Amino acid sequence: MHFPTYRSRRIRGKEVFRRMVRETALSADDLIYPMFATFGRSVRKEVSSMPGIYQQSVENIVAEAQEAHETGVPAVILFGIPASKDATGSQAFREDGVVQEAVRELKKHVPGLAVITDVCMCEYTDHGHCGAIRDGEVDNDATLELLCREALSHAQAGADMVAPSDMMDGRVGAIRQALDAEGFSHVPIMSYAVKYASGYYGPFREAAESAPQFGDRRSYQMDPANRLEALREAAMDVEEGADIIMVKPGLPYLDIVREVRNEFNLPVAVYNVSGEYSMVKAAARNGWIDEERVVMETMIAFKRAGADLILTYHAKDVARIVKAG
């Protein structure tokens, strides 16, 4: 097709035509809103590096989740900040743990909302790593038992879905087996299948109080330079029983989202992580960008790359914008 026979601007010239031929669509149903539950009452502490995001006690989690649900957000994912921490993260699988309490209250007061729980140990361990430590390293197989106990406790509390984010080898299969053995074969697993060792996680570590106290997480999170490894990791989780596979972070890894979408026929999620959120907020507060426009462009980028679901701290704003048309 060549000019002047073909003129692209004929279609671009009217908003109605642009809407009619738009190739990628975004819906509020695509969104999952991350929330940080902490112990206590009347707690609503803003995360300094994440404007508009809070550590909240359970009653405030319920209130904001209700607000999010009313805007059209169908699901939240919960992260927990325990009252105390120890070497094995034992607060992660207590019946009266903060996430377990939040799940029960959310299912009671916002029954139409899907409640997903992050399954990892980093928020609960005093060393900040994602599993049990042996000889200065995370012990993969010992950690699997802890993750199974945590996932099972979430399911028992009423979680609609569990989402292991630890990047231990074999954890999807172990959790699937543990859930099935206790009568929770109906609870799906959204696996953080492709999770890179990223500099974009900094603000989250403030929000979840989960920074490692020594070393880093490169021995279990992926090398940002690796593409084929991402497909191997996703394939392992699919074979072990994952129902949804996730790529994290989002924007720096859109190529990986597309690779995973092309390779697998399961739903694909992408995590628009804390650093991505905070950069947009900082630039907007300085008047350097149009926040709404950049946020929506980012969401469309995720969808265009092939994501079915988007975990994003912008979820409430995006749902309002989509609802307003």
Predicted local distance difference test score (pLDDT) of residue 208: 74
Predicted local distance difference test score (pLDDT) of residue 127: 80
pLDDT in tens, the chain (325 residues): 888 888 999 999 999 999 999 999 999 999 999 999 999 999 999 999 999 999 999 999 999 999 999 999 999 999 999 988 888 888 899 999 999 999 999 999 999 999 999 999 888 887 877 778 888 788 999 999 999 999 999 999 999 999 999 989 999 999 999 999 999 999 999 999 999 999 999 998 888 777 767 667 767 789 999 999 999 999 999 999 999 999 999 999 999 999 999 999 999 999 999 999 999 999 999 999 999 999 999 999 999 999 999 999 999 999 999 998 7
Give me the domains of the chain, ranges plus CATH numbers: 24-324 (3.20.20.70)
Token pair recorded at residue 260: 């995973």
Question: Rounded to whole angstroms, what are the CA distances from 219 to 61, 166, 197?
Answer: 33, 11, 9
Query: Could you tell me which of 98, 117, 102, 100 has the C-alpha nearest to residue 65?
Result: 102
Active-site annotation, residues:
195, 248
Using CA atoms, how far apart are residues 320 and 325, in angstroms rounded to an integer? 9
Predicted local distance difference test score (pLDDT) of residue 190: 98
Which residues are within 8 A (CB) of 180 and not within 5 positions of it... i.e. 6 or more apart? Answer: none
Which residues partner with 54 through β-bridges? 46
User: What is the pTM for the complete model shown?
Assistant: 0.95
Residue 108 Cα to chain centre, angstroms:
23
In the chain, the amino acid numbered 24 is: T
Using CA atoms, how far apart are residues 194 and 179, in angstroms rounded to an integer? 22
